[in-house]
Amino acid sequence: MESRDAPQRDGVLPLPPSPAPDWALFLDVDGCLLDFAPHPSQVIVPAHLQRDIVRLSEMLGGALALVSGRSLDAIDDVFGDLRAIPAAGMHGLERREPDGRRTFPPVAPESLIGIYAEAQHVAINYPGAIVERKGPNLALHWRAAPDARDAFRAFAAAALRVLPDYRVQGGDMVLELRPGGASSPDKGTAVEGFMAQAPFRDRTPVFVGDDLTDEHAFSIVNAYQGLSVLVGDRAPSAARWRLPDPAAVRAWLARATAHDGVHA
């Protein structure tokens, strides 16, 4: 199936329409709902965002989920009032289902302890570089230390020699070592899992995200004839619609919850 067409002008992706009552809405977190911060723990949740998400979830009959590279625990630390919202963490390695059940990630191998320590030694040479342990995943961030990129890339490639069941996943100024090889879950499989069950089933899927890791989800919603919404101007992308930045995403959500809410 082909995706729902977007009316492009001179190759520029258009703004998405207002949310409709038959949507199943999937939202990335960092770089989408929230502006980036020097450290993932330093993100700021703007006033009214959690309220708007809860309100929109109610308008969509519960068919709203967060889909993030963060762990579920980290998502809940950021959005304390959204623990009842379905979510996928670690790019789909763990999920909170609509009924509250959780799917947990695989146990990290013992060798990851040493890899983590070695990565920290690399990061010390680049002030602002961050090594983040996320269960079985290890994220290497260089947003605040661009010079660390090549060192982190070389380190990740070398680490695969002692982590044979792992792969390297690229992102926006981050690399992530994660288990499962090429067949491991991603944001696209997370969306598929939600779409196979109520209240998401038989709705039009809409995914909003900014990162390279969101491309899996864009491809899936396009196949469902849904709406794929890129945040920012990264190219190339499978997305068919665009919002310029997280502030625009938050304003889009706020408009949907104001007055009469979603539009039929």
Query: Known catalytic residues?
Result: 28
Q: Which of 81, 85, 19, 89 is nearest to 50 (CA)?
A: 81
Phi/psi region, residue 172 (left: phi>0; alpha: psi -120 to 50; beta: rest), is: beta
The answer to whether the Cα torsion of 174, 178, 183, 188 is positive or negative is negative
- The secondary structure of residue 187, as a DSSP letter, is H
Q: How far apart are CA 59 and CA 64, in angstroms?
A: 10
Structure tokens at 102: 């959780």
Q: How far apart are CA 179 and CA 185, in angstroms?
A: 9
